[in-house]
Structure 1
Amino acid sequence: MTPSDDLLKEAKQVLANGNMEEGVKKLVKAAENLETKNEYEMAAKTYEEAALVYRDLHHADESFKLFDRATLMMVRMPQGPGVYREIVRLNIRAGEIADAANEHKRAADFYFRAKDFAMTDEEKKTTNIRAADALENIADGTEEQGDFSETISLLRKVSRLYYTAGDEELGERINDRAVRVALHWARTSKIKGDFLSAGNALAEAAQIMQTIGESPEATRIMMEAGELYEAAQLYEKAGNIYDAAQEAYKLQRLTSARNQALANAAEAYLKMEGTPEAVAPLLVKGGNMFSELGRGMRAKWAFKRGSEMFEELAKRAASDREVDSEKKYLRYQAMCLKNAGYEDRAEEIYSQVTKYYLGQAQNRSKAGDKERQAIALEEAAEVFLESGQKEESKKLVEQAITLYVELAEEKSTAEDSETASKLYGRAADCAARLGDTERDQSFHCMASEKAEQAAEYYRQLGVPELATIWIRTAGTEALQTGSDKMIEKAIQLLTKSAEGFKAANELKEAFEDLFGVFEAHFMHYPDRRKQIKTTISSMEEIAKTMQDDIINALTSLIIALNEGNHIGALLILQENEEGLLTKEDRIRSLIAQSKIVRATR
């Protein structure tokens, strides 16, 4: 009999004799002994047994810790369906114990973990709903305590969970409750003179109402929130929510209301005080709004103030010898001056900046540095375009394309496929700026081809990590062509790069490429349900292994998209807005596509 067996036998004898406190300590010691010997399955069972004893002793925290240890043991085992089922069972049981002890936060955590490892749709929905119920119980308590901000945050999570579980009725009920709480919070905060909280509460209510399709009322509430932010002298927040309201009015085709919202936003931005870095861009935004409204004098005043701030920033950058920043701010200054009516002064500044970049291009040409010469020409072309000299801008972009292609061909001849790929990619970007679709596609094709050659070179050298990176580049370039043939190829390449990253244990990178594969399928071939499901399954496997909040959220989001549950997907995006910021535009495009290609809920 092994020492572990002796410990287990002794622990069970002590428990049988009724000494629960001493017996459970011996059980834990036996589990730890099994863990050190890598006998993870038996260790998990023993930890669970000890957790149940602590439950009976009403030591909830100790019980939860041991359920966590039991789960960890299962995670350390070779992964497969049997292990996943056991993790789900363990965590559902722990969640039930936590709920019974009124430890609803811990219960929700256990249910979420169970959902992450669930194998079937039914299990995922069940654990989602249990987590939602636990969070709603917490929300009941925070509402009683008057913590309305936390209550609304919790209710939005609950609503999202019900929607993603397919229960629209419960999702709508919780959303309605969240709106009621937000409006109550706004009223009480306003009475207290806490205009910031009142504005935040109305902003929350408006976003919830927009999500469930109550746009007219939501827009009215946005305008009221803007007024409260102005009362709190938070003019940027006021301007931003007025701006959101005018976008909503635009969709509703309410011209007069939209013009009022635009005017309010512009006036709010004009009232801002603060650092030039923060205020100047918003003065430009306000100036553009006034221009759209035909209010020329207010627009000129906004642009004049903006020009003064950008001039200050340019001088500061010059004194710090930050040349790129100086030229950038000078361009903004010139743009503001031009819009304010000081065209001669604007032209002087534009001329100064273009001369600098053209001089840089000339110097690089003399040094034989074609790549930096092309980059300088691109910069000069942008400035010419900003100053209204479109033809001169086009000429410089064409020159940059010629240089990039010449250099790419030279690098190809020298068998430097990496650099050739990058250069063809830059040539493609230039062609896109000219609106030349044919050359844009052609250069992206060349960039993809060269990237594949670079990948093969590193494969032969025995450096699979670099080969994988270049396979990804080849796939990304192929996607940008927009052609059916190349998109098909991109899907194959990104699938292959995901496999390479997975083999290198770079799971986050593998997930990123699989997201690209899903996106390509869903946007271009949405009827390929089997392939889409296979891709999602691969993403779920990575999510189970990594247990990363953002990856879990994105996985849940694409599942909702594929099921046509665009409201659930939108709620997930809103809840994880900061973590998904870099993908927001792509996700919103996928949500719009979901409304078209999937039966919506």
Structure 2
Amino acid sequence: MTSLQDVLKKASAKITQGDKEGAARLLEQAGEILAARGIIDRAARVFTEAAKIYREFDRAPEYYDAVESATLMLVRQGTDSKTNVDIVRINEAAGEFADEAGEHQRAADFFFRALDFATGSKILKLTIKAADALEGLADDKEVQQNYEETLTLLKKVSRLYYTAGDDELARRINERASRIALNWADEARREEDWLTAGNALAEAAQITQTEGDNVEATRLMMDAGMAYEKVGLHEKAGNIFDAAQETYKLERLSSARKNAMSQAAEAYMKMDGEPEVVGPLLVKAGDMFEELGRPMKAKWSYKKASEIFEKLARRAAEEGDTASEKNYLRYRAMCLKKWGAIDEAEDIYKAVIDYFIEQAKKEEEREHHEREALSLEEAADVMYEAGRRQEAQDTLERALDIYVSLAGERAASNEPDEESKLFTEAAECAAKMGDAERSASFYQKASERARSAAELYQEMGVGEVATIWLRTAGLEALKTQKTEMHEKAIEYLRESAEGFRAIEEEREAFDDLFTVFGLLLEHEPDDERIKEVLSAMDEIALTTRDEEVSLTLSVIRPLFNGHHIAALLALQENEEELESKVDRLRELVEIVKKRSR
């Protein structure tokens, strides 16, 4: 086996002989030996030297590979300021080399990697370089008539320019993207490719709406819906018509909204497919027809929906899935009631309520009191739907009393974790009853007992469990919706994030910090702690290289800097990947948008 010393000597000899390319290959071999031995810092230096030589001789594939190897070694060294500067330097240089060679995607990849480790003014410069590289790639895709990919890239470019603060250039990119989408739609319509036409129009609508032109955006949404209708894609048509009517509502264009709502409802009525999907959309159609003052159409929608829910309930019963059966029966009763079959609806409601009350009695006899309370809650939910409000309130009060009584028993036996869970259940009962004050009081108790549970587990030496209860304490404090409890929530969630990081559960830590970031951005945007939280989130992104973490940061960094359009574009681009956080991110975008007015 060739020794490290031999390889390095040969490399030195090659350089002396003027064979630098041969030397670079030997340096790579030496780097691999060093990496295998765990001598990471030396391996990084050797790979970096090899990369320089390959670049000098325009050996692009070998140069890129050497940069990748050097970056990997630097990352494995651990992130400190000097290492980060080195990673940025070699990847920025590789990006510039690739861009000059017309390899725009590879250039963008290098610039984005450099961005992950950049700080200060370097972030702005690299953002613009990445945007320029992607714009070059978009040009290539447009020439190839790959319009879908062109639009995806241009939306990214626009978002990057907004992030960099160049709003004018970002708007120009969006105007270009909109023109391409409309030309693509026209081409598809000429070929009677209605699915493609609909998709292109929907893209144009989204881009136009992002720029604030809601009136034009809704017109394009309506055109997209019409295109989907032509090929029987009634759910897609209904959904985009529905989006249009919501936008018209914001613009207070009542006649246009009614037209969009009517189109959406009619599209949903034409749907076939999975009954679990069709049933709820028929109910939605009925509600729309009702709002439009078309009672016969509404009743027909509710009737069709009730028949679907009847079949689903029967199937669930045959499969022995009692919980699903009762839920579908509730939906059927709701539809029958709206249709006008009041007596039949009441009979179904009564049967479902009686079932849950009977379950509660059985659990009481078995002394399973928590299950008893859960059954009472189920019964109360159906009572509300049936219009039996006072009976529902009384039933929920019974459930609440059980939870509070059980919490008292757990307190006596020093079980703060169970006590916290029971106070949460009591809080939810009070919330259903519309008693915000009592609900907040119980959530506060749940938070306090969760904090006590964390302390107890910490004393027992079970830090992981203590951290989970710290998180619970923070989340329950948030649910009180009391301003004075926000500070407690921030304190507990920052502590839990530290706890998760201590046990190398970085993703869990990130989620807690995300909650804190949102809370500070919403209520205390000038608080210095928001910078500390964002810095900790950036550290997690660097160490984990987790996709969801990085994508979340692509939205919240521009929010922190007040760029709501850049944040919205990043969110639209990655909505599926950010599904678990998308609702909160949308709220934060709206908050920053309102502040910018």
TM-score of the superposed pair, with normalisation by structure 2: 0.98
2:203 is aligned to 204
Report the CA distance between 1:286 and its aligned residue. 0.5
Matches within 5 A, 1:268-417: 268-417=267-416
What CA deviation, in whole Å up to 9, does each residue of 1:442-470 have, x standing for no partner?
10111011111111111111111000000
Distance 2:98 2:434 in 1: 60
SS in structure 2 opposite 1:554?
helix
- Within 1, Cα distance between the matches of 2:568 and 2:547? 17
Equivalent-residue separation in structure 2 for 1:169 and 1:40 (angstroms): 45
- Alpha-carbon separation, structure 1, partners of 2:273 and 2:586: 33
Q: CA deviation at 1:361?
A: 0.6
1:522 corresponding residue in structure 2: 521
CA distance in 2, matches of 1:532, 1:61: 42
Looking at structure 1, the residues matched to 516 and 152 of structure 2 have their Cα atoms a distance apart, in angstroms, of: 33
- The answer to whether 1:32 aligns with 2:16 is no
Aligned residue in 2 for 1:471: 470
Q: Secondary structure at the match of 1:226?
A: helix
Structure 2 runs not aligned, ≥5 long: none
Bigger mean CA offset, 584-593 vs 537-546:
584-593
C-alpha deviation, 1:9, in angstroms: 3.4
Structure 1 position 533 matched with structure 2 position 531: yes
Q: Offset of 1:220 from its aligned partner?
A: 0.5
Question: The residue matched to 1:582 in structure 2 has which SS?
Answer: coil
Q: Tell me the distance in 2 between the aligned counterparts of 1:94 and 1:42.
A: 21
Between 342-351 and 21-30, report the one with greater CA deviation: 21-30
- Alpha-carbon distance in structure 2 between the residues aligned to 1:259 and 1:155: 34
Deviations 1:485-544 (A, max 9, x none): 22111111100000000011100011111111111212222231x111111111111111
Superposition map of 1:219-238 within 5 A: 219-238=218-237
Q: Is the 8 A contact 1:478 1:486 kept in 2?
A: yes
Counterpart Cα distance in 2 of 1:320 and 1:36: 57
TM-superposed CA distance for 1:58, in Å, is 4.0
- Distance of 2:238 and 2:322 partners within structure 1: 32
- Partner of residue 178, structure 1: 177
The secondary structure found in structure 2 opposite 1:139 is helix
Shift of 1:125: 1.3
CA distance in 2, matches of 1:428, 1:567: 38
Partner of 2:259: 260
What residue in structure 2 maps to residue 19 of structure 1? 19
Report the equivalent of 2:590: 592
Instruction: Please name the residue that 1:496 is paired with.
Output: 495
Residue 581 of structure 1 deviates from its aligned partner by: 2.0
Question: What's the CA shift string for 1:531-578, capped at 9, x where partnerless?
Answer: 111111111111111122221122232221121111111111111111
Q: CA deviation at 1:76?
A: 1.0
**Counterpart in the other structure of 1:216:** 215
Amino acid at match of 1:222: M
Aligned pair count reads 596
Separation in structure 1 between the aligned mates of residue 62 and residue 534 of structure 2, nearest angstrom: 37
Listed one character per residue, the Cα deviations across residues 400-438 of structure 1 (whole Å, up to 9, x for unaligned) are 111111111111111111111111011111111112111
SS at match of 1:126: helix
Maintained 8 Å contact 1:24/1:53: yes
RMSD: 1.4
Give the Cα separation in 2 of the matches to 1:217 and 1:594. 24
Q: CA deviation at 1:33?
A: 1.9
Structure 2: distance between partners of 1:537 and 1:178: 34
AA aligned to 2:62 is E
**Secondary structure of residue in 2 paired with 1:581:** coil
Distance in 1, Cα, partners of 2:441 & 2:299: 44
**CA positional deviation for 1:6:** 4.4
- 1:67 and 1:411 map into 2 onto residues whose CA distance is 60
- Residue 57 of structure 1: how far off its partner (Å): 4.5
**5+ residue gaps in structure 1?**
none
- The equivalent residue for 2:423 is 424
* CA distance, structure 2, for counterparts of residue 38 and residue 119 of structure 1: 28
State whether structure 2 residue 570 is matched by structure 1 residue 575.
no
Please give the residue correspondences for 1:5-16 in structure 2 after superposition, counting only pairs within 5 Å. 5-16=5-16
SS at match of 2:581: helix
| One-letter amino acid of the structure 2 residue matched with residue 53 of structure 1 | I
Amino acid at match of 2:470: I
Is 1:550–1:576's contact at 8 Å kept on the other side of the alignment? no
**1:250: which partner in 2?**
249
AA of the residue aligned to 1:161: L
Deviations 1:314-372 (A, max 9, x none): 01000000000100111111111111111111111111111111111111111111111
Structure 2 equivalent of residue 71 of structure 1: 71
Separation in 2, partners of 1:9, 1:212: 61
Task: Find the residue that maps to 1:33 and give its secondary structure.
Answer: helix
Post-superposition offset of 1:20: 4.3
Q: Distance in 1 between matches of 2:423 and 2:62?
A: 61
- 1-side partners of 2:278 and 2:483: how far apart? 45
Q: What is the CA deviation profile of residues 157-194 of structure 1, one whole-angstrom value per residue up to 9, with x for unaligned ones?
A: 11111111111111111101110110011000111111
Cα separation, 2, equivalents of 1:441 and 1:524: 19
Q: Tell me if structure 2 keeps the 8 A contact 1:81–1:119.
A: no
For residues 76-91 of structure 1, the aligned pairs below 5 Å read 76-91=76-91
The 8 Å contact of residues 557 and 573 in structure 1, kept in 2 or not, is answered as yes
Q: Percent identity?
A: 51
TM-aligned CA deviation for residue 256 of structure 1: 0.5
Runs of 4+ aligned structure 1 residues displaced above 4 Å come to: none
